[in-house]
Structure 1
Amino acid sequence: MALEYYMPRADLRDYVRAYYLFSTDHRTIQPLCAEMGNIRVVLNGGGVMHMPDGRKQHTTSAFLLGPTLSAYCLEAEAGTRAFGIGIRPKGWITLCGVNAEELTDKIIDLTSFAGGLARSTIDEMRNARSFDEMSAAADRFFSNLIMRRTARRTSSYPEALAQWLLDPNELGIDSLVDMMDVSRRQTDRIAKTYFGASPKYLQRKYRALRAADRIRSGDLDWISAAGGAYYDQSHFIKEFKTFIGVTPKQFIGNQAQLITEIQSKRRIHALPMPLASF
């Protein structure tokens, strides 16, 4: 199993976090933590996505995976290769033209919202001779999407919400409402539009993701990794498994190999964790 990363063109990085090439010579089943959203183009092979609600979704073409509200599982056939794109929350409306909440825990065909542009890009990627060529095709795809959808933008990205989610002090909802300068109800609606879930739920999700990142960094004691936001050890373990897909002990034991590989490669390529998992 191998994973390579490539940065998108500089003017696209507000919307697209990174490109990655996944490959495996052997059949593999791996848990994946809760994510913000991905586009994946299957170049060879295929597999099954075991979604959080128990559904099985076969993956044999190109698709958009919406934000996942909890961990899910990837089952890949031997010889599978896939080009993936991590979508930032800011990219949902601009690139996909859809409310993130509408696609939580769902998979849709890439051509259903990008039509012929998606089909030609898929062909380019499958005929590409290198990762560089695939990435260049992705750059052109997103640049064209941005030009198409610019006139449809109706609201600005909520930078305050992103800052609130990343604050190490885990501020309360009242602080977020003040930072957003809108009503609590509007704050909730905006969070679901860009992130697919309510602020409180998102806070739980990112709390667990940060703990996993600390464990991967070598901070193995669960209390240190968890911080002060959990009631007790059982609460931490339950939340960790919900969003990461394994217990902290299993995670330390490398029973989520793909997640740890993602985190390791992210550090090598200086890709910060904020607001997207892949």
Structure 2
Amino acid sequence: MVELRYHIPRTDLRDYVRAYYYYSTDIPSSEPLCAELGNIRVLLRGGGMLQLPGGEIERGMSAFLLGPTLGSYNMLVEPNTQVFGIGIRPKGWNALFGVGADELSDRAVDLTAFGGGILRSTIDQIRNARNLAEMSAAADCFFIDLLTKRIKRISQRYPAALADWLLNPNDLALDDLISAMDVSRRQTDRLAKLYFGASPKYLQRKYRALRSADRIRSGETQWMNAAGADYYDQSHFIKEFKTFIGVTPKQFISNQAPLISQIQQTRQRSMFQIPLASF
């Protein structure tokens, strides 16, 4: 049986931390996962490995920071595995860790490198917690401490116009983004990589596919309606969808990516709703 539960962070962290979650499975599992924002994973029990978009295999880290993934990837877990996870918003990269998202795109790194003794103590608290609420409270305290120490050193202004453009259901053109940003194309490219891990053109492809998956999860089964107006033809849509979601649209409709579907269903049942394409 697979269990997946979510918990929201405290109010003053929600610009930086998306959500906390608890995942457990009593059976071995190999699952495709869609391209996503970065997150932290703390192994509570069991083990597994990740096959990242570039083909690199990561295994053996008990607590790690996974950067934004720029394509679908695979998660393989052993039976009786339990994980506490933390979704990091684009605004959280520099604020919490002092790194650009592009430095960690498609990479998993040892989490303790970013927090020293305080972080190791927090990880111990998470592992000794009795439930998700207690794990989340320990993480809240750690992140508030990080922000208090770092907030005055954060000089880069968050590109809200870029975030709005990525989530716009009408899929705006790149020239519209440049106009909304009111900075040069080169500066826009730099900000996109710093906060979101890739160039605007690449992010446009990623978020088109994620929005299509959201439409299918909402009940849309006609490929043209799920795709929107921004693909050359059906074969182009299928290729892009598989690149970023990990399965074809037909496979996704028939629930051949069950963990992605369960993630979306659990989010929708929770006290907050977070589509795949959101921050």
TM category, shorter: over 0.9
Give the whole-Å Cα distance in 2 for the aligned partners of 1:191 and 1:243: 18
Q: Corresponding residue for 1:139?
A: 140
Query: 3-state DSSP class of the match of 2:41?
Result: strand
Structure 1 residue 274: Cα displacement: 6.9
Query: 3-state DSSP class of the match of 1:93?
Result: helix
Q: Corresponding residue for 1:103?
A: 104
Is the 2:61–2:110 Cα contact (8 Å) retained in structure 1?
Answer: no
- Per-residue CA distance 1:220-239 (angstroms, 9 max, x = gap): 11111111111110000000
Equivalences for 1:1-278 in 2 at 5 Å?
A: 1-269=2-270, 270-273=272-275, 276=278
Structure 1 residue 264: Cα displacement: 0.6
Structure 1 residue 149: Cα displacement: 1.1
Structure 1 residue 145: Cα displacement: 1.0
Structure 1 residue 79: Cα displacement: 0.5
Structure 1 residue 59: Cα displacement: 4.0
Query: 3-state DSSP class of the match of 1:53?
Result: coil
Is the 2:214–2:277 Cα contact (8 Å) retained in structure 1?
Answer: no
Structure 1 residue 272: Cα displacement: 2.5
Query: 3-state DSSP class of the match of 1:67?
Result: coil
In the alignment, structure 2 segments of 5+ residues that lack a partner are none
Give the whole-Å Cα distance in 2 for the aligned partners of 1:122 and 1:17: 19
In the alignment, structure 1 segments of 5+ residues that lack a partner are none
Change (3 A) 1:157 1:193: same
Q: How many residues align?
A: 277
Is the 1:42–1:59 Cα contact (8 Å) retained in structure 2?
Answer: no
Give the CA RMSD over aligned residues: 1.1
The one-letter code sitting in structure 1 at the alignment partner of 2:224 is I
- Which of structure 1's runs of 4+ aligned residues deviate more than 2 A? 270-277
The one-letter code sitting in structure 2 at the alignment partner of 1:258 is L
Is the 2:211–2:276 Cα contact (8 Å) retained in structure 1?
Answer: no
